[in-house]
Amino acid sequence: MTRSVLSVVGARPNFMKLAPLARCFAARPDVRHTTVHTGQHYDAGMSAAFFGDLAIPPPDHDLGVGSASHAQQTAAIMQRIEPVLVATRPDLVLVYGDVNSTVAAALVAAKLGLRVGHVEAGLRSGDWGMPEEINRVVTDRLSDLLFTPSRDADENLRAEGVPAERIHFVGNVMIDSLVHALPAARSRQALTRWGLKGRPYAVVTLHRPSNVDDPATLGGLFEALETLGRELPVVFPVHPRTRARLVALGLCPSAGGGLRLLDPVGYLDMLGLVEAAALVITDSGGLQEETTFLGVPCLTVRPNTERPVTCTRGTNRLVTPARDVLLAAARDALEARTRGAAEIERWDGTTAERIAGVVLDGAEFR
- What is the set of active-site residues? 207
| Three-class DSSP category at 54 | coil
Compute φ and ψ for 149, nearest 5 degrees.
-95, -15
Compute φ and ψ for 188, nearest 5 degrees.
-80, -15
Task: Say if residues 212 and 206 touch (Cβ distance below 8 Å).
Answer: yes
Task: Say if residues 131 and 160 touch (Cβ distance below 8 Å).
Answer: no
Task: Say if residues 317 and 299 touch (Cβ distance below 8 Å).
Answer: yes
Task: Say if residues 270 and 15 touch (Cβ distance below 8 Å).
Answer: no
Selection from 172, 206, 164 nearest residue 293 by Cα: 172
Task: Say if residues 341 and 294 touch (Cβ distance below 8 Å).
Answer: yes
Rounded Cα–Cα distance for residues 169 and 147 (Å): 6
What long-range pairs does 30-33 form, CB within 8 A, spacing at least 24?
30/1, 30/2, 30/3, 30/360, 31/2, 31/3, 31/4, 31/5, 31/356, 31/359, 31/360, 32/2, 32/3, 32/4, 32/5, 33/4, 33/5, 33/6, 33/7
Distances (CA, A) of 57 to 93, 215, 227, 357: 18, 40, 43, 22
Instruction: Identify the burial level of 203 via C-beta atoms within 10 angstroms of its C-beta, where 0-12 means exposed, 13-18 middle and 19 or more buried.
Output: buried
